[in-house]
Amino acid sequence: MTSEDTPQPADPADGTDPADGRAPAEDATSADVTGPGEGSLPADETSPAAAEPTPAPSPARAKRTRKSLSARSRGEGWEKPQGELAKYRSQARAALRFVAQRGFFGAVVGSNLTTSKVVHRRVKTVRGPFVLVANHSSHIDAPMLARGLPWAQARFLSTGVAADYFFTVWYRRLFVRIIFNAFPVDRGGSRKHAGTSRKLLRAGVPILVFPEGTRQLDGKMADFKPGAAALAIGVGVPVVPAAIIGAHEAMPKGRSWPKPGRPPVAVVFGEPMISHEDESAVDFSARIRARVKDLYDEHHDEVLGSAVRDEEDTA
């Protein structure tokens, strides 16, 4: 595995939408502004056909458009962020974040870890907001995900952090906002920031969620809480599953710095997922977890070697 995106085998020409694997919808822009007979010779201006209005989309085509998340985000757009939410889609902040995250901070990560990534080609076709979901065992998980995701999708990616720790002191708040475009998450029963993640998604801001809820002490993947799946279903956005391999071995919970020797850590981004019709958040969450586990297992040995796998199995 290299630090470059691993190419994926070309899909057959099956007419599926690259963002969600469903039948492609017409691009909303061209469908709305072009006249009849696009792609053929223009009708004579004096002919009756030229005066006929553009026919309304068929129910089947309208259904395909609703199912295609890329077409949906282009056609309907998302709410313009207002007030405090506006900073999460700030172009100036994104430019600063690129320099800090992929320049300075990236150099620190690269000098202490041997990093690599695999990105499914359909991740690069996602437009608009999405929920990035990954396993969680180390403090280096979020930086690895933010650095590994293609910039077109990572530009406004926002990560939830503990409000009672990171947002109470100005320098911590500044750090997490510059590096992670962070938003506050309440702990201890507070509801002060309830609904922020949903508001961000509706404002076109993708978010990173760790459904296990906390870092795992043994590095083994715990059950996923259904909150991330419920968000994706409720707002109507795709989920991008990701597996982080080697983070626990490199910097387990309790360490404040990676182990010496530049241990290997890889992040694998899988094909975007959307919920099935009438699928519950619990069932969708279970399907997301299974996909993340498959990504982890598929790439484990090439990152860490089979010897580590044997140690995990006997632990």
- Report yes or no: 145 and 134 within 8 Å, Cβ to Cβ: yes
Among residues 293, 245, 274, which one has the least CA distance to residue 118?
A: 245
266: pLDDT strictly greater than 60: yes
**Class of CATH domain 76-314:** alpha beta
Output the CA torsion sign for 105, 163, 252, 147: negative
Mean pLDDT (whole number) for 83-107: 90
- Report yes or no: 231 and 108 within 8 Å, Cβ to Cβ: no
Angstrom distance (rounded) from CA 261 to CA 105: 19
pLDDT of residue 61: 45
Residue 6 structure tokens: 């691993």
Residues in the chain: 315
Please name the residue that has the structure tokens 């580590």: 308
Angstrom distance (rounded) from CA 201 to CA 233: 11
Identify the three-state secondary structure at position 71.
Answer: helix
The per-residue pLDDT for range 14-38, each reduced to its tens digit, is 434 434 444 333 333 333 333 333 3
* pTM given for the model: 0.73
How many other C-beta atoms are found inside a 10 Å radius of the C-beta of residue 302?
Answer: 14
Domain ranges of the chain: 76-314
Angstrom distance (rounded) from CA 244 to CA 145: 8
**59-73, 176-190, 228-242, range with greatest mean pLDDT:** 228-242
- Report yes or no: 133 and 240 within 8 Å, Cβ to Cβ: yes
Average pLDDT value for the chain:
78
Backbone angles phi, psi at 134, to 5 degrees: -150, 160
Residue 173 structure tokens: 């708040």
Cα 56 → chain centroid: 34
277: pLDDT strictly greater than 80: yes
Please name the residue that has the structure tokens 């409000």: 163
78: pLDDT strictly greater than 90: no
Backbone angles phi, psi at 286, to 5 degrees: -65, -35
